[in-house]
């Protein structure tokens, strides 16, 4: 391997990794934008219990625990 082949290999590998870093940074930026502004699409809604059938329990704290 002479000097021109080594220089071409070194510059090619550096440019390849820089391109890879730019692509990854672009994917991360697009992902962050989608996560920030994307609203979920609801195709189906599952039947839930009506409010009169839901039993809410309030937690009680006993001061005297024995």
pLDDT score of 29: 95
Average pLDDT of the residues in 28-38: 89
Query: What digits encode the pLDDT tens for the residues 38-60?
Result: 877 676 666 665 566 666 666 66
Closest to 37 measured CA to CA, from 47, 25, 29: 29
Whether the pLDDT of residue 11 is over 80: the answer is yes
Q: What angle do CA 19, 24, 30 make, to 5 degrees?
A: 125
- For CA atoms 25, 26, 29, 30, the dihedral sign is negative
**Between 63 and 30, where is the model more confident?**
30
Closest to 35 measured CA to CA, from 43, 45, 27: 27
pLDDT score of 8: 97
Helix, coil or strand: residue 46: coil
* Model pTM score: 0.54
Identify the H or E element spanning 49: none
pLDDT score of 40: 73
């Amino acid at each position: 391997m002479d000097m021109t082949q080594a220089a071409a290999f070194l510059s090619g590998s550096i440019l390849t990794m820089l391109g890879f870093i730019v692509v990854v940074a672009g994917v991360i930026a697009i992902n962050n934008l989608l996560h920030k502004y994307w609203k979920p699409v609801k195709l189906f809604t599952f039947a839930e219990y009506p409010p009169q059938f839901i039993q809410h329990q309030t937690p009680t704290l006993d001061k005297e625990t024995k």
